[in-house]
Amino acid sequence: MKPIRIFRHLDCEGPGYLLDVLRQHGFSHESINIDAGENVPVRTDDVSGIILMGGPMSVNDPLPWVAAEIALVQQAVKNAVPVLGICLGSQMIAKALGAKVYPGPCMEIGWIPIHITQGSRWTEDLTTHLDVFHWHGETFDLPARAEHLFRSDHFAQQGFAIGPHLALQFHVEVTAAMIEEWLTRHSGDLQRRCYHDHDASTIRQQTPQKIASLHRTAATLLGRWLEGCK
């Protein structure tokens, strides 16, 4: 099988637990580290699928690599190469497919439940109420013909699918170590959080209780996405 190409936009926002799932399904991977100055490839026929990770930047920022990644997503969709986007990556897919991306009402940070909006092959093995990890301030409209999958109380758009392509606003990839690093490096974001009781101490207390369930959700969603990768 061809490898999965993973785009990293910040050194502390790598694929995390997703690498374990890829190995379990027999996929290799290669990394494009945008934060290290690596260029966006122009081909999509040399990979089985593309994963776009998160980052603190906006898809509306006038960065050359943002435009290049959006063009790559459009090419991948045209060529039926599955794309998975997480957080910033989900916003990248939304914009590439013609939807608007814009600031949300607050920063959704910490362990916050999402709800399944409708029955789907993507969600049939998941419970209707899922505790997942968030760290984002922007949101998006649904692209045309998108299948709306998830919502939360503050953000109506938490995930959608179009064909083999999957966009997730929340973070299924994080490990406990990654969460700790984000709490340290991005502590200023907590001043804009949606829920005032979701402070760093609370997030640290909740993480050991919830991380295993999150990884089961990750395994289910990534496993379903990998079914379309060849």
119 by DSSP, 3-state: which?
coil
| Candidate list 165, 173, 198, 215, residue with the active-site label | 173
Query: Is-above-0.85 flag for pTM?
Result: yes
| Candidate list 9, 87, 134, 215, residue with the active-site label | 87
83 alpha carbon, distance to own chain's centre: 11
pLDDT at 118: 84
Helix (H), strand (E), coil (C) string for 66-118: HHHHHHHHHHHHHCCCCEEEECHHHHHHHHHCCCCEEEEEEEEEEEEEEEECC
Could you report the per-residue pLDDT of 17-69, keeping only the tens digit for each?
A: 999 999 999 999 999 999 999 999 999 999 999 999 999 999 999 999 999 99
pLDDT of 103 > 90? The answer is yes
Could you report the per-residue pLDDT of 5-20, keeping only the tens digit for each?
A: 999 999 999 999 999 9
pLDDT of 224 > 90? The answer is yes
Q: How many percent of the chain have pLDDT more than 70? A: 100
Question: Has 171 been annotated as catalytic?
Answer: yes
Question: Has 87 been annotated as catalytic?
Answer: yes
Q: Which CATH number fits domain 4-226: 3.40.50.880, 3.40.50.300, 1.10.10.10, 1.10.3080.10?
A: 3.40.50.880
Tokens encoding 15: 């694929």
| Candidate list 134, 171, 198, 215, residue with the active-site label | 171
Cα angle for residues 111, 85, 2 (degrees, 5° grid): 130
Q: How many percent of the chain have pLDDT more than 90? A: 89
Cα angle for residues 150, 7, 30 (degrees, 5° grid): 120
Tokens encoding 143: 């692209």
Mean pLDDT of 162-184: 98
